[in-house]
Amino acid sequence: MKRFAVIAASMLCLALPALGEDVTINFTGVANTSVQTLGAYAGYYTGTVTANGVTTTESPGFICDDYNNEIFLPSESWQANATSFASLLTPSVLGNTFFGNSIGLAGYAAIAYLSNLMATTPASGQADISAAIWYIGSLGTGTVSFSSLDAGAQAYVNQLLGNSTSAGLYDGTDGFTSASVFTSAAASELAGSSLWLYTPTGLDINPSSDPMPQEFVGNVPVPEGGAALLYLLLAGFACFGAMFIRARRPNTLTEMA
């Protein structure tokens, strides 16, 4: 029975980083209609994040990393799963994003890098950043071709994902077919990021006639709700209990090579 408790508690401990939080995204428009690329509005999108009954305006705005899906003016809302970029280092979290299985940690590290760069770039330069992000997000589908990017966007992609990348986020060995191919620089980019990823769940899309909306990058941190907090508390006790049981257990077995 003690062995079962240790195993169950250990599973809870490992599951903790995989927690996300369901939120409602309300898209209300674009920050600057003059920022356009690849036939779409780019740069920052305006809207709010509602989590645990609290609505927060996204500032300076959402960044879209997803050219494969669509959202529509004048407004649209949907349910999404909010996860921090830092938590993408947990495989189960990465796998629940739109593109984790195709662009991996290096791809999302590049998106995090470009999203932070967007915050310090004037509107006149934001279109190239959006185009580079959309290209990276679509690497698994080929929706955005490299040749469709202008010189500025191509330069960002080459800087981050080229075989001789100065940012060092990608080692250039397999064309992004493996989520495990990344460098320590990519891991550091994600671990140090304060950004959040809002991945649509396909639920509560309003208007209901609209297709799957886009995955967004944002700055609104999402605290765990009551149920998640209770889970964390119980899991914490379980983890502590497992360590206590293991510490008290006499070492009666001799380890064999």
| Number of other residues whose CB lies within 10 A of the CB of residue 241 | 14
* Positions of the chain with pLDDT lower than 50, given as ranges: 1-18, 163-167, 173-180, 225-257
Q: Please, is 99 exposed, middle or buried when counting C-beta atoms within 10 Å of its C-beta (0-12, 13-18, 19+)? A: buried
Angle made by CA atoms 131, 132, 137, in degrees to the nearest 5: 95
pLDDT attached to residue 169 = 62
Per the CB < 8 A criterion, the answer to whether 65 and 137 are in contact is yes
Dig out the tokens for 215 from the structure. 């995955």
How far CA 69 is from CA of 143, 186, 217, in Å, comes to: 10, 26, 15
Phi, psi dihedral angles at 130 (to 5 degrees): -60, -45
Helix/strand/coil percent split, the chain, to 5:
40, 20, 40
pLDDT attached to residue 249 = 38
pLDDT in tens, 180-237: 456 677 888 899 999 999 999 999 999 999 999 999 999 999 975 433 443 334 344 4
Type of residue found at 214: Q
pLDDT attached to residue 162 = 60
Spans of all domains in the chain: 2-14+226-248, 20-218
pLDDT attached to residue 170 = 56
35: left (phi over 0), alpha (psi -120 to 50) or beta: beta
Instruction: Return the beta strands (E) in the chain as ranges.
Output: 21-30, 36-37, 40-41, 44-51, 54-57, 62-64, 76-84, 196-200, 216-218
Q: What is the pTM of this model?
A: 0.77
